[in-house]
Amino acid sequence: MATAVNDLNVPHRLLLGPGPSAVHPRVLRTMSTALVGYLDPEWLALMDEEQDLLRAVFQTANALTLPMSGTGSTGMETAFCNFVEPGDTVVIGCNGYFSERMCEMARLYGAKVIRIEKPWGAVLTPAEVEETLRAHRPVKIFALIHAETSTGALQPLTGMAEAAHRHGALFLIDCVTSLSGVPLNIDEWGVDVAFSASQKCLGCPPGLSPFTANERALRLLHARKTRVPNWYLDLTMIEKYWNKERLYHHTPSTTLHYGLREGLRLVLEEGLEDRWFRHQAIAEYLWEKMENLGLKLFVPREHRLASLTTVCVPEGVEDATVRTRLREIYNIDIAGGFGPLKGKIWRVGLMGFSSRRENVTLLSEALREILHGRN
Amino acid sequence: MATAVNDLNVPHRLLLGPGPSAVHPRVLRTMSTALVGYLDPEWLALMDEEQDLLRAVFQTANALTLPMSGTGSTGMETAFCNFVEPGDTVVIGCNGYFSERMCEMARLYGAKVIRIEKPWGAVLTPAEVEETLRAHRPVKIFALIHAETSTGALQPLTGMAEAAHRHGALFLIDCVTSLSGVPLNIDEWGVDVAFSASQKCLGCPPGLSPFTANERALRLLHARKTRVPNWYLDLTMIEKYWNKERLYHHTPSTTLHYGLREGLRLVLEEGLEDRWFRHQAIAEYLWEKMENLGLKLFVPREHRLASLTTVCVPEGVEDATVRTRLREIYNIDIAGGFGPLKGKIWRVGLMGFSSRRENVTLLSEALREILHGRN
């Protein structure tokens, strides 16, 4: 029975959802490279290069900068299982799906979670952060989602690290959907801990989560009273494989690292600032095309995220029907909303290799045909 | 600086260590396939196929049979974080490196660990298991490493499930280095929970951990008094993505799943029993060649593991020097021992696509040249 399974034969989809984005052909090609062992000197040199590339993309000098072996969620869990100890207070800006996930994980590791509540799609101000941090001292971590994929809002980070540090808290961000697609400067902006994902603006397949933590965060890690209660994501062990000790912890996914290395090379070949500019320009073209179709955008312009745009589903139009037509007739994949936004928005991702002008031209004409008829 | 990083250019190594093994060219090629979204109907159909293929290779009808998103260690951690509750007694057969890791993980999740101690390289008998289980009732889990990569010993499983079940314990095995390389029949042999890894006998890259658990284990999971204390590996959430609910948990690594699907297809095209036979025949050829070179094998013949052979480093020969020469002159990668076997053994893996007669011919002639001179 099972032996009758056919050759892999997947449709050629244009990936314009919240991720995975289209993987760059050079990355796809690189991943068919034969493997080397995880202690081979040539592999160890590749690890060093990968860390250098990641530092350049994160804009950080942090020694502990490495790809965790899993999707963005492992990056998030790495942050909370390593830096939270039972009883710690963690303040989280709550304005979308992924901040809810942060709350869940922080609680799982024993934190007392203080929520700063905002409607989905809104962003936090430094003043309300300051107020909450002051009211709940001592705070161990203040955490934000930089680019919220469930709403399409970009959280400004100005003043946030300063507020966190004034109250002795670590400043932790989820930059899953922003890294290399939206301006981000880990060191200059005072971010202590950050994690991302390979399958968004980096244009690689899912399965690795770029992670960085500075000395301030590591001092807290090394001063823990209790052992990190997660084996696979325990940074005190993982750092010993990625630093000069090269102590085996778990087998890295050679193929995914080959791919990420190529993806990071592409980012730096393009230039980080040019890449941010491209993501912004292509997004603005999308916004213009959507408005020309009479569609409203969910997030006000000043907080709109270039890498993921949320478009309001018009009155009288059925969300799922349109997405099914896009997929079945045009081979285009976009996503719907979830939680309070289910059925109300479409989510259009323009990330990495998916962020190309012709993709927007095609999508908007396909949407026009579906919504207004063919001609 | 970082932008100057070169094209990926890795040496062409023959991987004859404990894993990753050589990835089959068809698997490598398949992984350069463009991605589809993780809720695309075509992707969901691939998930069903992948599960069917895995069931055939595990020889199980278990509904919960899926690849966990990580290396073999995530499979191990999945087993302990889901099926252990604080205070549970877990009995572990301790005869190598990976059983120590099991003890560490079981303790991390609050288990009282009872060790059945054996020297590294020895195997456990059903009688000693029976005795220990009887002495420590109630036992929640009895766990064994089926194929111990650190020693090269194959643990016979006859009578083990019966002993576990007689005392009400779940029978849990690590089959990381045995699945599809050595006879294994999950259902017929009464195994309740098992996990493996993609990069050993399955001949795929590292990054996925095939996992299976039967109804008996799932009843215990669903009756937990406490929440699973690990987010990424929480089977109560992950099963809802892999069953008909298709509830999003984390983004699967599309590329690695494409590769695993192809690897599993190759296993079933060859035929599971023919594949076991091949691994055994090629291993026996290695054993004969090593003995012809005057080398001793570490494990007695009756418990020798086909997928990984441990060869004793001869008196007066320096372990690392030989391995460096193999790598630098012949591009062959084998491994040394660790723990109590450091410097004393070489570990030669013949798994998946690495298990080919010509690889053994080459390795043994290379070793002969290094040990006895060229002629």
Give dist(CA A367, CA B334) in Å, integer: 56
Residue (of B188, B226, B276, B204) closest to B81 by Cα position = B226
Domain annotation for chain B: domains and CATH numbers? 14-19+272-372 (3.90.1150.10), 25-268 (3.40.640.10)
**Kindly report the CA angle at A209 between A67 and A12, in degrees rounded to 5?**
120
Give dist(CA B307, CA A170) in Å, integer: 47
DSSP string computed for B307-318: SEEEEEPPTT--
Q: Residue range B66-78: average pLDDT?
A: 97
- Chain A CB contacts of B11 under 8 Å are 36, 40, 42
Candidates A16, A31, A177, A180: best to mutate against B (most CBs of B within 10 A) is A31
Q: Is the Cβ pair B8, A30 closer than 8 Å?
A: yes
Give dist(CA B299, CA B154) in Å, integer: 9
- Cβ contact A309:A231 at 8 Å: no
Q: Is the Cβ pair A104, B231 closer than 8 Å?
A: yes
H/E element, B77: helix B72-83
Q: What is the pTM of this model?
A: 0.97
End-to-end CA distance of chain B, in Å? Answer: 48
Token code pair at residue A285: 């073209």
Give dist(CA A145, CA A194) in Å, integer: 10
Q: Is A205 on the interface with B (CB under 8 A)?
A: yes
The shortest C-alpha distance from B215 to chain A (Å) reads 22
Q: Is A289 left (phi over 0), alpha (psi -120 to 50) or beta?
A: alpha
Q: Is B4 on the interface with A (CB under 8 A)?
A: no
Neighbours of B9 (CB within 10 A): 8
Give the CB-side neighbour count of residue B202, counting CA atoms within 13 A. Answer: 33
Examine the pLDDT at B190 and tell me if it is beyond 60.
Answer: yes
- Cβ contact A58:A201 at 8 Å: no
Q: Is the Cβ pair B37, A15 closer than 8 Å?
A: yes
Give dist(CA A260, CA A255) in Å, integer: 9
Residue (of B145, B155, B130, B154) closest to B72 by Cα position = B145
Q: Is the Cβ pair B72, A28 closer than 8 Å?
A: no
Identify which of A17, A33, A37 has the shortest CB distance to residue B37: A17
The shortest C-alpha distance from A333 to chain B (Å) reads 7
pLDDT in tens, A246-293: 999 999 999 999 999 999 999 999 999 999 999 999 999 999 999 999
Candidates B1, B5, B7, B228: best to mutate against A (most CBs of A within 10 A) is B5
Give the amino acid at B148. E
- Chain A CB contacts of B10 under 8 Å are 33-34, 36, 42-43, 46, 258
Give dist(CA B20, CA A14) in Å, integer: 33
Question: What pLDDT is attached to residue A88?
Answer: 98
φ/ψ of B89, rounded to 5, equals: -90, 130
**Kindly report the CA angle at B86 between B80 and B92, in degrees rounded to 5?**
45
Candidates B30, B231, B330, B353: best to mutate against A (most CBs of A within 10 A) is B231
Predicted ipTM > 0.90: yes
Q: In percent, how much of chain B has pLDDT > 90?
A: 98
- SS3 of residue A152 by DSSP: coil
DSSP string computed for A244-285: TT----S---HHHHHHHHHHHHHHHHH-HHHHHHHHHHHHHH
- SS3 of residue B108 by DSSP: helix
Token code pair at residue A26: 């050079």
Give the pLDDT band (50/70/90) at residue B5.
confident
- Cβ contact A74:A256 at 8 Å: no
Q: Is the Cβ pair B232, A231 closer than 8 Å?
A: no
- Cβ contact B32:B259 at 8 Å: no
Q: Which residues are B67's β-sheet partners?
A: B210
Identify which of A8, A71, A262 has the shortest CB distance to residue B8: A262
Candidates A77, A209, A250, A330: best to mutate against B (most CBs of B within 10 A) is A250
Give dist(CA A43, CA A32) in Å, integer: 16
The shortest C-alpha distance from A172 to chain B (Å) reads 19
Q: Which residue of B has its CA nearest to A334?
A: B37
Q: Which residues are B345's β-sheet partners?
A: B312
Among A residues 9-28, those touching chain B with beta carbons less than 8 Å apart: 10-13, 15, 17, 19-20, 22-23, 28
**Cα distances (Å, whole numbers) of residue A212 to A54, A60, A79, A325, B203:** 9, 8, 9, 41, 32
Q: Residue range B13-32: average pLDDT?
A: 97
Examine the pLDDT at B78 and tell me if it is beyond 90.
Answer: yes
pLDDT in tens, B343-369: 999 999 999 999 999 999 999 999 999
Q: Is A152 left (phi over 0), alpha (psi -120 to 50) or beta?
A: left
The shortest C-alpha distance from A78 to chain B (Å) reads 10
Give dist(CA A75, CA A238) in Å, integer: 13
Q: Residue range B99-126: average pLDDT?
A: 98
DSSP string computed for B202-244: T---SS-EEEEE-HHHHHHHHT-SS--S-STT-HHHHHHHHST
Q: Is A244 on the interface with B (CB under 8 A)?
A: no
Token code pair at residue B258: 């494409």
Q: Is B59 on the interface with A (CB under 8 A)?
A: no
Among A residues 69-128, those touching chain B with beta carbons less than 8 Å apart: 69-74, 77, 104-105, 108
The shortest C-alpha distance from A274 to chain B (Å) reads 14
- Chain A CB contacts of B98 under 8 Å are none
H/E element, A66: strand A64-68
- Residue whose tokens read 């942060």: A102
Question: What pLDDT is attached to residue B357?
Answer: 98
Q: What is the dihedral of CA B251, A302, A342, A365, to 10 degrees?
A: -80
* C-alpha of B53 from chain center: 17
* C-alpha of B329 from chain center: 29
Q: Is the Cβ pair B69, A72 closer than 8 Å?
A: no
Question: What pLDDT is attached to residue A3?
Answer: 55
Q: Is A55 on the interface with B (CB under 8 A)?
A: yes
- SS3 of residue A172 by DSSP: strand
Question: What pLDDT is attached to residue B1?
Answer: 46
User: pLDDT means per 10 residues in chain A (375 residues)?
Assistant: 77 97 98 96 96 98 98 97 98 97 98 98 97 98 98 98 98 98 98 98 98 98 98 98 94 98 98 98 98 98 98 97 98 96 98 98 98 83
Among B residues 308-337, those touching chain A with beta carbons less than 8 Å apart: 327, 333, 335
Give dist(CA B317, CA B343) in Å, integer: 10
The shortest C-alpha distance from A314 to chain B (Å) reads 23
Q: Which residue of B has its CA nearest to A107?
A: B229
- How many A×B Cβ pairs under 8 Å? 240
Candidates A23, A26, A32, A227: best to mutate against B (most CBs of B within 10 A) is A32
- SS3 of residue A19 by DSSP: coil
End-to-end CA distance of chain A, in Å? Answer: 48
Of the listed ranges A124-133, B5-14, B87-96, B215-224, the one predicted with least confidence: B5-14
**Helices H / strands E in chain A, number of each:** 12, 14
**Kindly report the CA angle at A44 between A40 and A48, in degrees rounded to 5?**
165
pLDDT in tens, B292-310: 999 999 999 999 999 999 9
Cis before B138? omega within 30: yes
**Kindly report the CA angle at B145 between B74 and B196, in degrees rounded to 5?**
40
- SS3 of residue A176 by DSSP: coil
Give the amino acid at A321. T
H/E element, A142: strand A141-145
The shortest C-alpha distance from A127 to chain B (Å) reads 32
Cis before B20? omega within 30: yes
- Chain B CB contacts of A265 under 8 Å are 3, 5
Q: Is the Cβ pair B20, A3 closer than 8 Å?
A: no
Candidates B250, B258, B272, B359: best to mutate against A (most CBs of A within 10 A) is B250
Identify which of A2, A20, A69 has the shortest CB distance to residue B35: A20
- Cβ contact B150:B177 at 8 Å: no
Question: What pLDDT is attached to residue A285?
Answer: 98
Residue (of B68, B39, B36, B37) closest to B51 by Cα position = B68
Query: What DSSP character marks residue A174?
Result: E
Give the pLDDT band (50/70/90) at residue B375.
low
The shortest C-alpha distance from B304 to chain A (Å) reads 24
Q: Which residue of A has its CA nearest to B54?
A: A2
